Structure 1
Amino acid sequence: MRNSGLTYDPKKDEINGIPEEMEFLPASNQKKLEKRSPKERMLLVGLIIGAALLSLMIGLLVWHFHFRPDNRIKKMYNGYLTITNKQFTEKLEDSESEAFKQLAATVEETLQNTYMGMDAVAPYYVRSTVSAFSEGSVIAYYWLECWVPPENAAELDAAIRATSLSISGRSHPGVSKSLRIAELVVDRADPQRVKPPKDKSCSFDLHAVPGKVGTFTSPGFPNSPYPSNAWCQWVIRADPQHILELNFVTFDLENICHNDFVVVYDSLSPIEQREITERCGMYPPTNAFKLISSRNVMLVTLMTDDDENYPGFKAEFRQLPKIKECNEVLEGSGNISSPYYPAYYPPRANCTWILRVAPSKHVKVTFNVFLLQNPDKDNICRDYVEINNKKICGEKPKMVELGNKNEMTVKFHSDGAESFRGFSAMFEPYDPSKPCPKKFACNNGRCVQLDLKCDGWNDCGDNSDEINCECSSDQFHCGTGLCKSMFWVCDGVNDCGDNSDEANCECAVDEMKCMNGKCIPEVQRCNLVDECGDRSDEQGCSEAENTVACTDYTYKCRDGSCIKKKNPECDGTRHCADGSDEQNCDCGTRPYKHSRIVGGMDAEIGEWPWQVSLHFKKLGSTCGASVISNNWLVSAAHCFQDFQGTRYSDPGHWVAYLGLHVQHKLSDRVVKENIKRIIVHEKYNPQMFDNDIALLELAHPVTFTSVIQPICLPDASHDFPVGKSTWVTGWGKTSESGPVATVLQKAEIRIIKRKVCDNLLSSAVTSHMLCAGYLSGGIDACQGDSGGPMSSVEENGKVFLAGIVSWGDGCARKNKPGVYTKVSNYRQWITQHSGV
């Protein structure tokens, strides 16, 4: 074979993978073959690391902005600012007008500059949106939106609140030079009350017309319930130099305010500092609430959840001239009251009255009604009456203030939120040497009849009529120095105030004596219930004594087991294993909410919805009764006893009026129903009034409404202790020889020990009876109330039928309390005959 001329022979041996005879040509640049210096190597490594770090940073940024979950939360704030160099015009009421849009843009730019200039706000700021304008010179209402990580939310809240300022006559730093701001108020918005500012789906603009009453209602009212998950608002305006009066004539919302509620603001922004009131539940027409604004604007909002929708509300509004001043100098005698009383007083009100009487007299002020906002948690009065150099707030009974000269200054102040009913007072002169001519002068300024001095009753209200008295033979001398009737001694109630009237009492054979002197039934010892009040009845008990045994004082469940919980039925907690203590509890509820009314004893509409008026044909209202189911009533047996030829036992002669409030005034709420059957207790004793109970079956079942509801029947073990306050209601005589009532009356009475009553009354008080009233007299049931309820309001709001009006010696006499049928003794009898 010819030699190919190749220098490389593949057949030659290879060493380390390289042919042994391979030749390398010399390099063209010898420097490239030299070893690199240390500096060059470090530079190369640095470049590589830098490139890696740069790539890592880019990756992290891409992840952060594109892939990392955004944990920021939306925060909404609302507020308003006052612009002093602009004048309000009607065009600013219309959010679609050019005037509105131009001023809104300027305000929004101003707010953006302000918040973006704040280091604690700028990183989270999104936008500001003006929602409305009003007078003053111009007040701009706005929403502020931010997005902030949860860990920075509190810091942002604090920074936003810090922007609330009060500046006079100059621009705020960072604010547009075209606007001069005198006030800026802003705070965090309640998330439950936040609605997108531009959402007008359920938003209404109203303007009061001079001399006319305007109305508006919740969506669907009265034909259908308000919608679920609604957020509605009504912007209401009045003419310049006027204020608004808002009156809810019908109000029927869910009882839980967290779910459905109405809020009224003294502004056009839902800011908490300008909230007049928040309401839910139902209010009767007799207690409809009337609200007053401090300016010519008002905002009403309705918020609902997705469950239990109710009829809603109807409201009326009108404009009133704004009171320029409520500062007056009054002479002689007269009346003063909070502005616009009896409507709720307006926010931010300040009034001063200077009261003057003859130079030889001093000023006396009597507050007949005093219902102001309660003091805050620091016991500071936000709304108050200042008199005799002291500030008074909260809810007070009838109150008297005496001056020490012929002139007195009275001031009233309310803050920016939470209005209340206010006060009504009268002033008159009095002679400091004879403050109560022909009467006794109490230390608190009241005047009472002379024969009430040292009679054992606290007629003054501060016990000053019972201090430094010589106790008579029929009185007990308390350790406090007071004299009390001997009938109060050992009755189980601490009447003296130091328990001295209960300290040395002998208990009955079947009773045990507590460490505090109270006597309780022996069977109540060691039942795991503190009957004594000092737990002495539960001390030293063995485990065997604490076992559950069925007695007259234990509640028996449907499965036959007994529990020791006192009055467990319908208390909202399941105590029986089978839950029978919480069954059949659709009773004893009062759908209407009732605010406290001071003065008078007229009941409110729907306050006692089980109250029934029984009319005997041709005689009118004769007795009362209580609703216990949709077709059964319970009343007193003595109402149905034939007398002098009149057949009271004939059900055909009776008519029941349910839901009635005023006699002979039959509204569409009232149900008139005939009586089908009367069942009188077979052991009724007409001489003793023992077993004084009867059942009445209605001719047709009734439908329960807000003014017709059944009262709860107590179990046989239900305890109504001595001293407990209950209520008696009816249309009977207002005094022993007086006329019958037209409006349903109510009276608060106290349960009295049976043994005390047995010694006081002309007939025996048996174990089937409860005794209640006041030994001082003055408050009692009377003729015409017979058969009506004695209602006991329990802690959870449920109302039980403790007693039935039965008998008494006259009406409201001293030492002559009333007697009532003890309903708990007849629980089984009622079920046996009615199935209830």
Structure 2
Amino acid sequence: MSGTNWSRDVPDPLNSGQRFIPSQDLDQDEFLQASSHKNLEKKPGCRKRLWIGLGLLLSAGAMSLLTGLLVWHFHLRRNVKVTRLYIGSMGISDQKFLKAYEDPHSPEFQSLAGQVGQQLKLIYSANSVLSKYLKSSSVQAFSEGDSGVVAYYQSEFELPAPQQNSLNEAIRSLEEPAETQMGRHGRLLLRPTDALNVNGVTSGALDSRLSRTSVSEKEPINVHVREQGQISSPGFPHTSYPPNFYQKWRLRADPGHRVRLDFHTLILEEDCQRDFIKIYDSLVPIEPRALTEQCGYPRGSLSFLSSGNVMLLTLLTDDEKNFPGFRAAYSQVPVQPGEECGGRLTEDEGSFSSPFFPSNYPPQSRCQWIIQVSEEKFVKVQFKRFSVGNDSQKCVGDYVEVDSKRLCGGDLKDTVFTSQSSKMSIWFVSDSSIVHQGFTAVYEGFVPSNPCPGRFRCRNNICINASLHCDGWNDCGDDSDEDNCRCEASQMQCRNGHCKPWFWQCDGVDDCGDNTDEDKCGTCAAAEFSCRNGRCVSEQLTCDGHDDCGDGSDESKCPKSLLLSCSKFTFRCSDGRCVSKQNPECDGEPDCRDGSDESNCRCGTPPFRSSRIVGGQVSREGEWPWQVSLHIKGQGHTCGASVLNERWLLTAAHCVQDDKNVRYSQAHLWEAFLGLLIQGLTNEWTETRNIARIIAHPNYDPGTFDNDLALMELDSAVTLNQNIWPICLPSPSYDVPAGQEAWITGWGSTAEGGDLAKILQKAQVRVINSTVCKVLLQDQVTDRMLCAGVLQGGVDACQTLQGFHTWVWSWCRVRGSAINMVHHDSKVQNVVHTSPA
């Protein structure tokens, strides 16, 4: 019932014309003249009834007002009209694609566009909602289709706001088969003789972010990818992209080819509601054909392929925080039907992967592998990498099917699938929208009675090298290779039978899993707190607002920082006061009254991008922007260094010590490469400078490598950017706790005695308890050094990045967010970054 009818059908009793008749049971004395004022006083019961009646009247009035407002709101909303834009495509099977269709001003384009417009009217006329609210349609582009031409269009509808759901449903019905549409509408309109033969319609509402009123949309840029080339955002790499900017790049390949787009650099604002790129398997932004949306500094695969010979790239920005943007290389890839993916695998072992792996797989893929091994064997398949679809989709869009079991998402590491025969069938399917990196898998045939010949069999059926059994590492993924082990001299025995490296002892991390490695690590009793100055206080005294330790360490990890007398364990503010908090610098909380603990905090965090680091060994461009390669002219890379500011570098004193062949202390022999990723390959990010001056630490001891520090002054300043950025220097009281994970980077050797790496390498290490380190290294470590060891098998600062499951010790010099690690017998120096990855 409408608000108007409601008010008409429910009369107000006070205006009904009926006479008011008092209730017959009222006290008659109240309606007679009183002889005294006492008789005029109302009885208590009457007063109560009066207040109840007044309350009911007020409630009824408020309800009427609220109802009226709701009625007015819905009447008003019903009359408010909204504009909705839908982007779509239409396959036309009775037309041959002409080159002229690529030019929207050509007569051929205009002619076919007119026919498409008439066809759209015909299609919309079969649905009462679409025909009633259609305002206009326009053709945006044409491309070659599988059996004719694909037309891309935009339709504008104007309708009352409450009808939007009906419009969405009507648009979705356009993709249904003709017999479904007949059932829905009761009949099909007769096709005129000049109607087009339409074989597929796809539509989607325009992304609402593209309708920002402040956005300036530019003319689409048309690119043919027959010849390889590059596209980039405006101003890249010298300036940031413009604000409130919307640009489309339409990429076309030759018939029978795919478009391939590989991003060289992509640095946008982190918030995708503000700035983003979006790629479509189309020439217009049809949402059901969106392949990806990216913002920030993405870490996954940034290589994309189309299903046909067209692709659309869009860039949208807002009015704040503009960033460098992107550069991408385009090319075309021939399509070879039937040979693209899938097939029969008849060897007893092998591998297979999704199409174009490690690039993102293309949309609308369908592949089948039939694995057939020897008759007496079963099949085993293990996915080494897996990123297909999304777990929330319940494997209905993109998926892998192993013997009728569907798999999707990204968490299949260390999972093995086995058959009960010598044959296995594997399908890979992708739909028309969002794509992922895909998968790579290995398979082998195995004899059921001996599934891991010559290797160790894990409980999860993975086979690993027998030498990895009881090596201290969880190689199986379920720890079964570390159960019931006999430890070597370099390992400690955990109570649970596991063996772990000695240098993991007392680092604050429960590596054993039963805390064996962290037992009896302090001098204090179980209920006491171990102060940094060696004293022991009751744990009940921590965070009580008093300096019970005498160095503030019992208050150093508390929510509120204390002002203390200064010591080597406290942070000194610029005003001379000291605070108790441990490592208060740049933690986002001002602890000093003058705010000096939060000043100069731009170091150590690259501009424009997050500091997250992914696994793997080869670094990505700009991942470590403070890394510098120092060359002796004519000899190539000799040492590493860190950027301190526009003019100064930090390196190791042992790198600039003369020997009988080279006077390394002479500045004119050195050349610094900043922003370098690959040795011998410079680009627009790389800056080269000569060295003007070298200052080695005056107390450097070449025998113990104590105070192994040196400064280098560049001959001219560099411009700081996302590829060249300063590292942080800590306060004297900065504490790097044992167990802290850190990263080594450098161009060191990737194998014992091997050549230097060409590409900047990285590896993870862990800071080691100083007491344990001194024991292991027989007191070769001073108080000005920090000890670190491998986190993932056989990695140290000088032989970077090959896991031999052997331990090489390195000692380090604290740099705060970074540590320069050196080795006593090598000129190769690497940089260790202790900021959390």
- TM-score band, normalised by the shorter chain? 0.7 to 0.9
CA distance in 2, matches of 1:759, 1:460: 32
Kindly tell me: are residues 696 and 93 of structure 1, through their superposed partners in 2, closer, same or farther at Cα, counting changes over 3 Å? closer
Q: Over residues 168-190 of structure 1, what are the superposed CA-to-partner deviations in whole Å (9 max), with x where a residue is unaligned?
A: 56755376543776655444322
Q: Bigger CA drift: 337-346 or 435-444? A: 435-444
CA distance in 2, matches of 1:819, 1:731: 7
Whether the 8 Å CA contact 1:512–1:521 is kept in 2: the answer is no
CA distance in 2, matches of 1:124, 1:776: 63
Alignment of 1:60-71 (within 5 A): none
Equivalent residue for 1:292?
Answer: 305
What is the letter of the counterpart of residue 317 of structure 1?
Answer: S
CA distance in 2, matches of 1:565, 1:146: 61
Q: Over residues 8-48 of structure 1, what are the superposed CA-to-partner deviations in whole Å (9 max), with x where a residue is unaligned?
A: xxxxxxxxxxxxxxxxxxxxxxxxxxxxxxxxxxxxxxxxx
Whether the 8 Å CA contact 2:619–2:759 is kept in 1: the answer is yes
Kindly tell me: are residues 470 and 159 of structure 1, through their superposed partners in 2, closer, same or farther at Cα, counting changes over 3 Å? same
Alignment of 1:530-545 (within 5 A): none
Give the share of equivalent positions with the same residue, in percent.
38
What is the letter of the counterpart of residue 109 of structure 1?
Answer: K
Equivalent residue for 1:588?
Answer: 604
Kindly tell me: are residues 175 and 595 of structure 1, through their superposed partners in 2, closer, same or farther at Cα, counting changes over 3 Å? farther
Kindly tell me: are residues 807 and 83 of structure 1, through their superposed partners in 2, closer, same or farther at Cα, counting changes over 3 Å? closer
CA distance in 1, matches of 2:102, 2:813: 53
Q: Bigger CA drift: 697-706 or 161-170? A: 161-170
Kindly tell me: are residues 661 and 84 of structure 1, through their superposed partners in 2, closer, same or farther at Cα, counting changes over 3 Å? closer
User: What is the root-mean-square deviation in Å for CA atoms of aligned residues?
Assistant: 4.7
How far has the Cα of 1:581 moved from its partner?
3.5
Kindly tell me: are residues 428 and 234 of structure 1, through their superposed partners in 2, closer, same or farther at Cα, counting changes over 3 Å? same
Matched, 1:441 2:457: yes
Equivalent residue for 1:328?
Answer: 343
How far has the Cα of 1:819 moved from its partner?
12
Matched, 1:89 2:102: no
**Secondary structure of 1:465's match?**
helix
Alignment of 1:590-605 (within 5 A): 590=606, 601-605=617-621
**Secondary structure of 2:817's match?**
strand
From 417, 420, 435, the equivalent of 2:433 is 417
Matched, 1:234 2:258: no
Equivalent residue for 1:313?
Answer: 327
Kindly tell me: are residues 697 and 396 of structure 1, through their superposed partners in 2, closer, same or farther at Cα, counting changes over 3 Å? farther
Kindly tell me: are residues 454 and 283 of structure 1, through their superposed partners in 2, closer, same or farther at Cα, counting changes over 3 Å? closer
How far has the Cα of 1:612 moved from its partner?
1.4
Equivalent residue for 1:456?
Answer: 472
What is the letter of the counterpart of residue 80 of structure 1?
Answer: G
Matched, 1:194 2:194: no
Alignment of 1:561-640 (within 5 A): 561=577, 567-571=583-587, 576-590=592-606, 601-617=617-633, 619-640=635-656
Kindly tell me: are residues 473 and 240 of structure 1, through their superposed partners in 2, closer, same or farther at Cα, counting changes over 3 Å? closer
**Secondary structure of 1:166's match?**
coil
Q: Over residues 92-133 of structure 1, what are the superposed CA-to-partner deviations in whole Å (9 max), with x where a residue is unaligned?
A: 555453432332222331354255x13xx7776544444344
Matched, 1:764 2:780: yes
Equivalent residue for 2:398?
Answer: 383
Matched, 1:270 2:281: no
Kindly tell me: are residues 528 and 295 of structure 1, through their superposed partners in 2, closer, same or farther at Cα, counting changes over 3 Å? farther
CA distance in 2, matches of 1:73, 1:682: 78
**Secondary structure of 1:99's match?**
helix
Matched, 1:742 2:758: yes
CA distance in 2, matches of 1:617, 1:164: 69
Alignment of 1:667-746 (within 5 A): 667=683, 669-746=685-762
CA distance in 2, matches of 1:720, 1:168: 69
Whether the 8 Å CA contact 2:744–2:830 is kept in 1: the answer is no
How far has the Cα of 1:396 moved from its partner?
5.9
CA distance in 2, matches of 1:250, 1:490: 42
Q: Bigger CA drift: 378-387 or 632-641? A: 378-387
Matched, 1:99 2:115: no
From 114, 117, 140, the equivalent of 1:131 is 140
Whether the 8 Å CA contact 1:385–1:393 is kept in 2: the answer is no
Equivalent residue for 1:27?
Answer: none
**Secondary structure of 1:192's match?**
helix
Equivalent residue for 2:18?
Answer: none
Larger Rg: 1
How far has the Cα of 1:226 moved from its partner?
4.7
CA distance in 2, matches of 1:305, 1:822: 34
From 153, 170, 173, the equivalent of 1:142 is 153
CA distance in 2, matches of 1:726, 1:693: 20
Q: Over residues 682-724 of structure 1, what are the superposed CA-to-partner deviations in whole Å (9 max), with x where a residue is unaligned?
A: 3333333233222222222222244322122233444433322
CA distance in 2, matches of 1:108, 1:485: 72
Whether the 8 Å CA contact 1:730–1:744 is kept in 2: the answer is yes
From 464, 467, 475, the equivalent of 2:483 is 467
What is the letter of the counterpart of residue 143 of structure 1?
Answer: Q
CA distance in 1, matches of 2:558, 2:628: 49
Whether the 8 Å CA contact 2:786–2:811 is kept in 1: the answer is no
How far has the Cα of 1:551 moved from its partner?
5.8
Equivalent residue for 2:122?
Answer: 110
Q: TM-score, normalised by structure 1?
A: 0.73
Equivalent residue for 1:26?
Answer: none
How far has the Cα of 1:476 moved from its partner?
5.4
Matched, 1:805 2:821: yes
CA distance in 2, matches of 1:819, 1:477: 33
CA distance in 2, matches of 1:351, 1:439: 32
How far has the Cα of 1:316 moved from its partner?
1.9
CA distance in 2, matches of 1:480, 1:114: 73
Equivalent residue for 1:204?
Answer: 221
Equivalent residue for 1:260?
Answer: 275
Kindly tell me: are residues 109 and 131 of structure 1, through their superposed partners in 2, closer, same or farther at Cα, counting changes over 3 Å? same
How far has the Cα of 1:728 moved from its partner?
0.5
**Secondary structure of 2:284's match?**
coil
**Secondary structure of 2:262's match?**
strand
What is the letter of the counterpart of residue 219 of structure 2?
Answer: C
What is the letter of the counterpart of residue 244 of structure 2?
Answer: N
Whether the 8 Å CA contact 2:742–2:834 is kept in 1: the answer is no
What is the letter of the counterpart of residue 140 of structure 2?
Answer: S
Structure 1: runs of 5 or more not aligned: 1-63, 530-536, 793-798, 813-817, 825-836
Equivalent residue for 2:262?
Answer: 247
CA distance in 2, matches of 1:369, 1:328: 20
Kindly tell me: are residues 557 and 420 of structure 1, through their superposed partners in 2, closer, same or farther at Cα, counting changes over 3 Å? farther
From 317, 321, 340, the equivalent of 1:304 is 317
What is the letter of the counterpart of residue 657 of structure 1?
Answer: F
How many residues are matched? 722
Equivalent residue for 1:754?
Answer: 770
**Secondary structure of 2:391's match?**
coil
How far has the Cα of 1:232 moved from its partner?
2.0
Matched, 1:650 2:646: no
CA distance in 1, matches of 2:572, 2:743: 27
